[in-house]
Amino acid sequence: MVVFHRFASFRFFVAAVLLACAGSSSDSRVQAQIKPAEGDQVKVYAVGEWRDGVILGQQGERYGVQYEFVSSQQDMFDRKAIRLLCETEALDFARTWASESGAFKVDAALKAIDGDKVVLVKLDLNEVTVPLASLSKKDVAYVGKLKKFREAAIARGDLPAETPRLPDVESFENGFGETAMVMFGEGKVTPLGTPPSYFSTFSQSGTGFSFTRKRQELVAIIPVGGPDQLVLVSVREDNFFNNGVKFPSQLYWVSLKQKKIIGTVFVTSEDFVLDYDPRSKIMVSYNQGERRGFNDGGVLTAWRLNPGDSKAEPIVRWNASLGWRLWSYYAKVINERIILAKTDRQTYTAWDIVDKKVLYSIKARSFFDAQAVLTKDRQHFIIPEDGFVTVIKADTGALAFQLKSPSSVSGVNVNDAGTKIAALTRDRLYVWELDGDDPRPISYNAPLIGNPFSARLDWLDDDHILVEGFLSQILFRLSLELPIWSYEMSVWQKSLNDDPLRSMVLNGHFFYTAEPDIFGGTLAVGAVKLPGPSVQEVTAKIEKDSLYAIKPGVEVSIGNLNVSDVGFVRQALAEKIQSAGWVLVDQADIQIHCEMGQHPPRSETYTSMMGRGESTTITYAPYYSNIEIRRGKQVLWQSGATTGAPMVVHGDDIQAQVTRMQVPQLEFFKNVEIPARIIDSRFGNGFGHSEFGLRGIVVTSTAPVARAESPDEAKRLAEEEAKKAEEQRKNAGPTNAGGFNSGSFGSGE
């Protein structure tokens, strides 16, 4: 049975139209084509797709075709809507090919142009490869013209580009799901590696460009570096509106130094590229495939691609279903033979693409599935867990070392020197010195940036960490234990950068993207040096003592206590108030509120770690305890605890074990640590903010309302700073200011 390839048929039709428009005689083209004859089996484009049909006859330039749609149908069609079976993967209609002398002659369709040869599909569907030198001058000229106009159509985005033939999908040894290791141990704490030198070439810059096609959508930006400051931009086509035509995914080589596109790469339409490693020259793409139940049924493909090249070579393709519960896809190249991907919530799997086997699988102990981080040298994988920071060797899965955290970790990262690991929790930031003798972390009070769920954080330098907040990035200064600045984007641009595949910090620069046209078709890519203008000058004046909402000597009162033992909790709070040096009174603007309760029932599924694939689903209702310190409706500080289901359970009666763990958390109110000094939460976004956008980074305010005597004063200061920043930008020029080069829009170069 012949499988009709809609992608190829559309490609051939557009090329034929282009040739006709280029000056070929309409009469000569009709004479050169092989006309369908009565009784020929064909493919016909009817009712929105290509269908099997049979030629009934010809009337003028149209053909009667019988085809199946619900039942047998008959209709008249132009030749362009009909394909002989030999044309289904061809670049043009079938025609007569001959040598100059006429000794060789064959009726066939052109399937491919391969250097100095052509591949023809005969009417009997057999293929033949013919050297161009053996064909007539007329045929050689025809091939040359077809090739020329086809390349122009591809460059304009009118025609799908040729993509490499993919290898068969394989199932690697010890397939996905048969192993799931949970790391236990300590290991030896040592410094991690530093970023590769080619990343150091980046400077503040940006450029904009037009996509080849308007419906292309961003997948990832991958900094590559080097002399041209290359960034590889991965996009995929939204083919939903393309009438069955599958335009390929594409890669753009963007040079931030030259401020233009210096090359493109096409990959198959259903695959989209997630990562590229310029050292190993290995790239990885994911194909979602058809969803089957709760799995995507997708595959990963490893490619070989040299920096700046226009063609990628597929190496191996394997089943690697990434779970349906993932909010975004994550796959990383570790080296020339290891690919690591997130295969489900809390689960990471690595494959050896040379030996074609599952190398290891890690199950993170993180209830909220905090984001793990691959170090920039691709040597170590850092996993934030509930009570731990686990570091594994990315090429083997072996434990490097494990750091004990006082509470659940929501975000983690390592500085560029590889000597410090930072871990964010609900209200604290912990920093371990990997090259020191003290295994204990330095604890920083950080309730204004804390996150109990999942957070992104990046080191700028040894005193500054950038943390993702709602619609903004918050810069935290360790030496002050304060957020000092916020960086904002519009809602639309923020959604464009909300995936770690599309924004990151590298060598002190924040890489991000912006869309000049909200309806698509253009993209701007930029790297801005942080912390940016005005930050150091403004924050040098901070007097921390004036920022506390609560400190020793402040009056507080105990408010609502919705708890199981009011007397116990009141006594515990009174002791903490006395220890902090606060003054307990009956009524005060600042009040402490406590609550206990039980969440609705939830389910959790446990899978055997013995390789049998057995699973058990249990149901439990967690107990919670919360404490809030408020000034009116403003929450100044909060903390809480909840029971849950452990990551690992030993034994057979899992339901009974988990049920026994669900008990009221009354002791929480006695054990919780409340800081004696609490910064006013109005300073949670720092002491000014800047915006990322098409102009790079622009200061919009250096005066939070809390630092001005009135709203009018705050507005006046903000306007002055914005005006000053605009003057600096104009004087410096677009390159120094980090603005995007709008001159490259629409050039496609």
Q: Which two tokens stand for residue 333?
A: 């190249």
Average pLDDT over residues 250-272: 94
- Is 489:528 a contact under the CB 8 Å cutoff? no
Q: Would you tell me which CATH number, out of the four given (3.40.50.720, 2.170.190.11, 3.40.50.1000, 2.30.30.700), belongs to the domain 6-156?
A: 2.30.30.700
C-alpha dist (Å) from residue 523 to 26, 252, 473? 40, 11, 21
pLDDT at 563 over 50: yes
Q: What is the DSSP letter of 375?
A: -
Strands (E), 586-648: 590-598, 602-607, 615-620, 623-631, 634-642
Q: What pLDDT score does 108 carry?
A: 94
In order, the DSSP letters of 546-577 are GGEEE-TT-EEEEEEEESS-HHHHHHHHHHHH
Round to whole Å and give the CA distance between 615 and 606.
5
Residue 223 buriedness (CB in 10 A; 0-12 / 13-18 / 19+): buried
Return d(Cα 293, Cα 154) in angstroms, integer: 37
pLDDT tens-digit map of 3-37: 233 333 444 444 344 433 333 333 334 346 899 99
Helix (H) or strand (E) holding 679: strand 678-679
How far is the C-alpha of 514 from the C-alpha of 522, rounded, in Å?
Answer: 9
pLDDT of the residue at 517:
80
| pLDDT at residue 544 in the model | 86
Please state the rounded mean pLDDT for residues 245-258: 93
Check whether 431 has a pLDDT greater than 80: yes
Q: Please name the fold of domain 197-516+526-541.
A: Methylamine Dehydrogenase; Chain H (2.130.10)
Q: pLDDT at position 32, please?
A: 64
Q: Identify residue 407 by its one-letter amino acid code.
A: S
Pairing of strands 623-631, 634-642: antiparallel
Residues 375-386 have pLDDT tens digits of 999 999 999 999
* Band of residue 734 on the pLDDT scale cut at 50, 70, 90: very low
pLDDT 10s digits, 28-85: 343 468 999 999 999 998 988 889 999 999 999 999 999 999 899 999 999 989 999 9
Q: Encode burial over 520-554: b for 16+ CB neighbours within 10 A, e otherwise.
A: ebbbbbbbbbbbbbbbeebbeebeeeebbbbbeeb
Q: Which of 107-121, 235-249, 320-334, 455-469 has the lowest mean pLDDT?
A: 320-334
pLDDT digits (tens, 9 = 90+) for 286-329: 988 755 444 456 899 999 999 999 999 999 999 887 765 566 78
The pTM of this model reads 0.76
d(C-alpha 364, C-alpha 402), whole Å: 13
**Dihedral pair phi/psi, residue 489, rounded to 5°:** -130, 165
Residue 670, pLDDT score: 94
pLDDT at 430 over 70: yes
- pLDDT beyond 70 at 151: yes
Q: What beta strand segments (E) does 85-229 contain? A: 95-98, 105-114, 117-122, 127-131, 169-170, 205-210, 216-225
Poorest-pLDDT segment among 376-380, 422-426, 491-495:
491-495
Average the pLDDT over each of 7-16, 187-196, 462-471 and give the range with the smallest value. 7-16
Range with the lowest mean pLDDT among 252-266, 371-385, 635-649? Answer: 635-649
Backbone angles phi, psi at 77, to 5 degrees: -135, 150
The mean pLDDT value for 150-169 works out to 85
Give the domain ranges of the chain: 6-156, 197-516+526-541, 552-676
On the question of a cis peptide bond just before residue 441, with omega within 30 degrees of 0, the verdict is no
- Give the whole-angstrom CA distance, residue 324 versus residue 293: 9
The share of the chain scoring above pLDDT 90, in percent, equals 55
Residue 306: the pLDDT is 94
Write down the number of H helices and E strands in the chain. Answer: 9, 48
* Size (the chain), residues: 749
How high does pLDDT run on average in the chain?
Answer: 84
- pLDDT tens digit string along 401-417? 999 998 899 999 999 99
pLDDT of residue 612: 53
